[in-house]
Amino acid sequence: MQSLFTRQRSASLSDANDKTQRNNNNTTIVENEQNRLYNPSAPWQRVPNQKRNRSPDESITNQAKRTQRREKIINKHRGIDNLEHSDTPEIEISNSFSLLGEESGDAQAKKTPKPPPIILYGVDDLAKLTQLIEEVVQTDDYTYKVVSKNQLIISSKTVDKYKTLIEHIRSKGLIGHTFTRKDQKCMRIVIKHLHFKWGAFAEYLEEKVELRISLKTEEDIDEATFYITNLIQVAAWRATPSLSCSSQRNNIPLEIRNKLAEKRKQRRKLHSSRSGSDRTEYNRISRELKELITENQNITCQQKLSTLTENIIKSIDTLASTYLYPVACEVDDDERN
């Protein structure tokens, strides 16, 4: 049931008259507009198309213009001007490492070794010691560190200052020690497999070594050292016999290899099934493999013993029968017999 407030209000007589009058006015306006547009006395006219047909050349020209317009916009953002006059514009290229100097690849930087320290003992007066050191070197050329009450470590900045300082300390009779510089250490040559021909080694050196060598500069000394070291190495290689490796090493019989493959296969099967029958079979194969390995070892040992000569066996018997007494113990002849 609709209430009095929600029910639509009925149209009165005055509202109906107003609506009819508005409809009549609208109809009159539309008829006047149509009469104005339609004039039967005016001649007919043809309306042209909005789009006209273009020739292929004109379309290509427009496409080229659009492409050129895009290039101008892009080059404007890049900072390139006068693109019409130059087909390939030059782009400035700079290298951030151009300020560095060029170095050849063969030249390697030679690392200067650090001079070893000088350790002095029995230093009672530190001021007198520094005064003695500064007679030959400057204050900035060395540093010192007190290790204990009577022990001092002196470190020099360069090798030349180290040489000057060590000579001055030795001339003054100070007690201490130092170490050999790395560039003055003797080259250690290790010759392996000492059972080689010493005669051939000496003959090669006597034949190849040239003693008439200039030793005036450091470069001459380095070249001579390299020359003699190279000759010693070549002589050692020529006099050392080549080691012949036996081809029978790790030679396992085919029967043992097949049994080992069978054991691995049975072990994989046992891991997947976990059954008692598979475990019994695995234990049987393992036992047979152990017996084959033991038998092969015994045969190999018998073959090796059969190749020994009687002289070696006699020498072993004589060495085993003699008893070696300690050096510090004195034994009488009666006790020895």
pLDDT tens sequence across 5-60: 555 555 554 555 555 555 555 556 555 555 555 555 656 666 666 556 555 555 55
Residue pLDDT, tens place only, 160-217: 888 888 888 888 888 888 877 776 777 777 666 556 788 888 898 888 888 888 888 8
Burial class (CB in 10 A: 0-12, 13-18, 19+), 205: middle
Written as one letter, the residue type at 153 is I
pLDDT at 105: 54
List, in order, residues 6 or more apart from 269 with CB less than 8 Å away.
278
Range from 259-273, 300-314, 320-334 carrying the lowest mean pLDDT: 320-334
The class level of CATH for 118-184 reads alpha beta
Give every strand in the sheet of 151-156, ordered side by side.
Answer: 142-146, 151-156, 118-121, 176-178
H helices within the chain, ranges in order? 13-37, 56-78, 126-133, 159-172, 198-208, 218-239, 254-273, 276-306, 310-321, 333-336
pTM over 0.75: no
Distance separating alpha carbons of residues 176 and 166, to the nearest angstrom: 10
Range from 69-73, 147-151, 180-184, 295-299 carrying the lowest mean pLDDT: 180-184
Contact by Cβ (8 Å): 266, 285: yes
Contact by Cβ (8 Å): 176, 122: no
Degrees to nearest 5, angle at CA 251 with 246 and 253: 150
pLDDT at 153: 86
List, in order, residues 6 or more apart from 232 with CB less than 8 Å away.
189, 205
Residue that the structure tokens 């198309």 belong to? 49
Q: Name which of 123, 183, 185, 119 is nearest 155 in CA terms.
A: 119
- Per domain, the residue ranges of the chain are 118-184, 198-239
* pLDDT band, residue 290 (cuts 50/70/90): very high
Give me 311's structure tokens: 């002289």
Contact by Cβ (8 Å): 239, 201: yes
pLDDT at 99: 67
